[in-house]
Structure 1
Amino acid sequence: MKILLLEHPRKIARGRCNDIANTPLSSCLISGYAAGMLAAVGHEAAIVEGYLDGLSYEQIRRQIKDFGPDILGVHMVYQWGRDQELFVFLEDIKNEGSAPLIIAYGFYPTFAYEEILRHCRAVDAIILGEPEYTFARLAEKSCPGTALQGISGLARRDGSGNILARRREPLADPELLPFPLRTKAMLGLPEINIEGSRGCYGGCAFCYINSYYMEREHTGRGKVTTPGPSRWRGRSPENITAEIDLLMAEFGKRDFYFVDPNFFGPGRQGQERALRLAGLLKERGIRFGIEARVNDIHQQTIEALAEAGLRNILVGLESGRDESLKRLNKMTTVAQNEKALKILRRHGIEPNVGFIMFEPDSTLEDLRINFEFLQRNDLLGDLPITANVLYHPQIILQGTRAYHKLQEEGRLQLLSTTYEGTAGFANPRVAALAQIMSGITNYLFVKMEGIWSGKAEEPKSARAIYAKLNRSLIKCFADTLHQLETGKQFSPGEIEDFVFIAEQEIDNM
């Protein structure tokens, strides 16, 4: 059977430049793993890189016609709203008869399957969670469209148009999967993405990683209950290095990035596994990056990883106040945040940090303590990071504990889709500062997009300009916060003027 997997074109709205990624980094290998599984069981599988190759929908249409798939898989990625352009394209493909069966998969459709199936009739079914074995089952059928009801792991319509959903038990061991298929576009990235584990042992209120991977009990009308225990699953160090050896031998690659949401497994076993992997990687002379929780940053392990080639790391600090960390269900402390920063810097690693400055229930005191934490720990010295941490809000996405909690409390306000909501800010002064910083930082990100993406050349005086902009952002936040703390209230017009003046200052620099 012929299966074509589509990574559709994507864009981020101008007002969302400074928000979190619209899908977890771990999803970048989702099509590769599905294609690898399909090829391993004897099917012809290919990937169309609509996003990385910058293809238009017309170019993608021609590739679909040329390939003639029995199944068209679409890795749907959230576009900060309902992607009507993609839906219309799929309707055209279905009407033309270019793809008898269209299957969506990914984080976004796993949670928003009801909305997608109602608004895009061209999508025959949606894979819930991990797609590899569900795709393999679909491809076993000579006429797969007639046998959807017998396959676990799908959301689909029944004969009456009702939406039914049935999760598949998560894969027990990711080491059982074939290595992912990597396209020319993927291999052309500065770092080769590699997946060493799936899931997370944490339970952060803003994250849906575990909900995506875990089996959940469904009620009669396709609704789901709150997910149960965590399911972190890691590949062995030997299996990981076997894949790295293959990539080095075939493509000469030496720069890698582990896309795992949680590189370290839980507890002592997780540290021991990381030490074994460090020992194997050190022999290979590579460079790599990881993402981790602060409570997993230990002196011995980081020292070994740094010696093995660890060069960059993303750590989720999220807040500089213990009360906020409890609200976010981080299961970490400010002391652990600061200890992790010291350990990493001791080994020459300046981390990229996850930080949520604005929560729906933030107070001015929370913001003040967060700001002082960032200053105290030297986290406001680099313009892109400063612009991020001085604004970053908590995004409320379907599948997270926060979404579920706010929905139960009657506070959730949906945006243009059921997939994303907001609760507003309980404190109007917090809302004013968030609006000001959002406007300024998004303008800055748009202005710098060409330079920071490598598409435009930096000015000769870039370092001095960045330092000046950085100081200006910090001063703006500090001065505005002080005014709000002393009772100042900003009208909508004043906020608009404030942002406009800051935009002019950015332009003049």
Structure 2
Amino acid sequence: MKILLLEHPRDPCPERCNDVANTPLSSSLLTGYVAGMLESRGHEVEIVEGYLEGLSYEEIRQRIRAVEPDLMGVHLVYHWKIDYELFTFLEQLKREEFLPYITVYGFYPTFAFEEILQACPVIDSVILGEPELTFAELAEVLSGRCNSIDIAGLAQRDKYGRIRYTRRKPVEDLDLLPFPVRTEAMFGLPEVNIQGSRGCYGRCTFCYINPFYGQRSRWRGRSPENIVAEIDKIISERGRKEFYFTDPNFFGPGQKGQKRALHLASLLKQRNVQFGIEARVNDIHDETIGALVEAGLRYLLIGLESGRDHSLKRMNKMTTVAQNERALRILRRHGIEPNIGFIMFEPDSSLKDIRANFEFLRRNDLLKNLPVTANVLYHHQIILKGTPAYQRLQKEGRLKTLPASTYEGMAAFADPQVAVLADIMRQITNFLFRRMGSIWSGREEEPRNARERYARLNRLLVEWFETVLHALEIGEKFSDEEKEAFVGKAKKAINDILYFDSKTRCSKQR
């Protein structure tokens, strides 16, 4: 059976440029794992990298025509809107009889399958959760190898138009999965993405990692030997030695997780690789981090989320501020300056919470790098369907959704003063990210004396945040006009710092 898997184009949303990722990094290998499973079952598989290759829909259409697939799967990614352009494209393909059957998979469709099936009638089914086995069974049915119409993990319409589905249990032994297929575009990334585990033993209210896998999901790890076998294959075939583990929680729970990490470190050390990971702060231990650094660990992201225990408890982080600070000390002692996950603004944040967050960031030297400062001084909690936070706010009657989609929810801040600070910082940081985007991406040359300019911008961001926070703490009010004026001055200062000298030089040349 000929099967085409599509990574569809995704348009950036300028207003959301400073928000957290709209799909977990672990989703980056979904298509590769599906392809690996299908090829192991004897199917002919083609992956079209519409996103990474920057393809237009017309170029994608030509690729599909060349393959003439019997089945197409689309890794459907939410990018802050309902993708009517993609839906229209699929409708045209079905109308032109290019595609007998279309299924979609991913984090977004797992939680929004009902509205997707209603919005795009030509989508025949939605795969819920882990896609490999469900997709393989669907291919068996459509190719005539199997007669079953009830496939666990598949949401589809019955003959009356009603949507029927059952959830599939997560894969118990990840070592049994074929290695993911990687395209040339995937190998064009700075690091080779690799997945060492799935799920998380945490239960954070803002996270939908575990709900994606199912109600009873848990952390599951591949064996170190299986991981290294995949790494050896990549080194042998591609000569690549830079990797990034896409696991939301690299370490497994407790001592067993630490022991597994130490064993993996001993195997990686023999291969002279470099790699990055993501982890919970309570899993950062001196011995394990030391061993991983010796094995090639260079990058690490930890979810600090807050500098106040009260807020961490509200998020059900199962960690403390003391653990946050201990993790930072251990990582820095081993030469790792971590990237951090941080939620400055929650729907229930108080000014006291915000002040505690700010002081935590400052005393732990987390406000000295411009990209980090811009991120942490405005990061509000994204409320996506499937998370405990979404369910709680919905139950409390506080959740608001857009008419076009129930996938992303919004909730007004319980404290209107917090809302003022959040609005001001959102506008300023979004403006900064738009201005800096072409520089950070390498499309535009850095300005002269870039380091000094960025340091000035960094100091100003901290100053603006503290100025507004202090004003709100002593009871000052900000009218809409006052907010607009404050943001306007900040934008002018950003422009002056980044572009004043270049404009002056241009004027002199003229």
Structure-2 separation of matches of 1:494 and 1:149: 62
Q: Does 1:24 align with 2:24?
A: yes
Dislocated runs of 4+, deviation >3 Å: 142-149
TM-score by length of 2: 0.96
Structure-2 separation of matches of 1:87 and 1:408: 31
Cα pair distance change 1:417/1:147, threshold 3 Å: farther
Deviation at 1:165, TM superposition (A): 1.7
Corresponding position of 2:60: 60
3-state SS in 1 of match to 2:165: strand
Match 1:446 to one of 419, 434, 445: 434
Corresponding position of 1:348: 335
Deviation at 1:483, TM superposition (A): 0.4
Cα shift readout 1:438-494 (whole Å, capped 9, x = no counterpart): 001011111111111122222231111110000000000000000001111111222
Q: Does 1:271 align with 2:271?
A: no
Deviation at 1:143, TM superposition (A): 5.1
Query: Does the 8 Å CA contact 1:101/1:145 hold for their aligned counterparts?
Result: no
Q: Does 1:492 align with 2:480?
A: yes
3-state SS in 1 of match to 2:168: coil
Corresponding position of 1:404: 391
Cα shift readout 1:176-231 (whole Å, capped 9, x = no counterpart): 100000000001111000000000000000000000012xxxxxxxxxxxx34x41
Q: Does 1:501 align with 2:459?
A: no
Code of the residue aligned with 2:105 in structure 1: it is: Y
Cα pair distance change 1:105/1:144, threshold 3 Å: farther
Q: Does 1:382 align with 2:372?
A: no
Structure-2 separation of matches of 1:377 and 1:74: 43
Cα pair distance change 1:402/1:145, threshold 3 Å: farther
Q: Does 1:359 align with 2:360?
A: no
3-state SS in 2 of match to 1:141: helix
Deviation at 1:141, TM superposition (A): 2.3
3-state SS in 2 of match to 1:166: coil
**What are the equivalent positions in structure 2 for 1:201-350 lying under 5 Å apart?**
201-214=201-214, 227-228=215-216, 230-350=217-337
Code of the residue aligned with 1:477 in structure 2: it is: F
Query: Does the 8 Å CA contact 2:141/2:149 hold for their aligned counterparts?
Result: no
Query: Does the 8 Å CA contact 1:9/1:56 hold for their aligned counterparts?
Result: yes
Structure-2 separation of matches of 1:444 and 1:174: 42
Cα shift readout 1:248-267 (whole Å, capped 9, x = no counterpart): 11111011000000000000
3-state SS in 2 of match to 1:152: coil
Corresponding position of 1:221: none
Code of the residue aligned with 1:257 in structure 2: it is: Y
Structure 1, 414-423 or 72-81: larger mean CA deviation: 414-423
Cα pair distance change 1:144/1:424, threshold 3 Å: farther
TM-score by length of 1: 0.96
3-state SS in 2 of match to 1:419: strand
Query: Does the 8 Å CA contact 1:101/1:144 hold for their aligned counterparts?
Result: no
Deviation at 1:269, TM superposition (A): 0.3
Structure 1, 359-368 or 150-159: larger mean CA deviation: 150-159
Structure 1, 492-501 or 304-313: larger mean CA deviation: 492-501
Corresponding position of 2:99: 99
Corresponding position of 1:427: 415
Code of the residue aligned with 2:6 in structure 1: it is: L
Corresponding position of 2:500: none
Corresponding position of 1:369: 356
Cα shift readout 1:116-165 (whole Å, capped 9, x = no counterpart): 00000111000000010111111112457996832111111111111112
Query: Does the 8 Å CA contact 1:138/1:151 hold for their aligned counterparts?
Result: yes
Structure-2 separation of matches of 1:148 and 1:386: 54
Code of the residue aligned with 2:159 in structure 1: it is: G
Flag structure 1 segments of 5+ consecutive residues without an equivalent: 215-226
Q: Does 1:395 align with 2:382?
A: yes
Corresponding position of 1:223: none
Cα pair distance change 1:139/1:335, threshold 3 Å: same
Flag structure 2 segments of 5+ consecutive residues without an equivalent: 498-510
Query: Does the 8 Å CA contact 1:321/1:369 hold for their aligned counterparts?
Result: yes
Structure-2 separation of matches of 1:504 and 1:133: 54
Structure-2 separation of matches of 1:424 and 1:71: 43
Cα shift readout 1:55-85 (whole Å, capped 9, x = no counterpart): 0011001111111111110000001121111
**What are the equivalent positions in structure 2 for 1:80-119 lying under 5 Å apart?**
80-119=80-119
Query: Does the 8 Å CA contact 2:309/2:321 hold for their aligned counterparts?
Result: yes
Cα shift readout 1:298-332 (whole Å, capped 9, x = no counterpart): 00000000000000100000000000000101000
Query: Does the 8 Å CA contact 1:138/1:148 hold for their aligned counterparts?
Result: no
3-state SS in 2 of match to 1:314: strand
Structure-2 separation of matches of 1:327 and 1:11: 34
Corresponding position of 1:131: 131
Query: Does the 8 Å CA contact 1:153/1:168 hold for their aligned counterparts?
Result: yes
Identical aligned residues as a percent: 64
3-state SS in 1 of match to 2:82: coil
Code of the residue aligned with 2:442 in structure 1: it is: G
3-state SS in 2 of match to 1:316: strand
Structure-1 separation of matches of 2:253 and 2:389: 23
Corresponding position of 1:49: 49
Corresponding position of 1:220: none
Once superposed, what is the RMSD of the aligned Cα atoms? 1.3
Cα shift readout 1:237-295 (whole Å, capped 9, x = no counterpart): 11101111111111110110000000000000000000000000011111000000000
Query: Does the 8 Å CA contact 1:412/1:423 hold for their aligned counterparts?
Result: yes
Code of the residue aligned with 1:294 in structure 2: it is: V
Structure-1 separation of matches of 2:354 and 2:155: 42
Structure-1 separation of matches of 2:144 and 2:48: 22
Query: Does the 8 Å CA contact 2:155/2:164 hold for their aligned counterparts?
Result: yes
Deviation at 1:407, TM superposition (A): 0.8
Cα pair distance change 1:421/1:93, threshold 3 Å: same
Q: Does 1:40 align with 2:40?
A: yes
Structure 1, 359-368 or 460-469: larger mean CA deviation: 460-469
Structure-2 separation of matches of 1:56 and 1:12: 15
Number of aligned pairs? Answer: 496
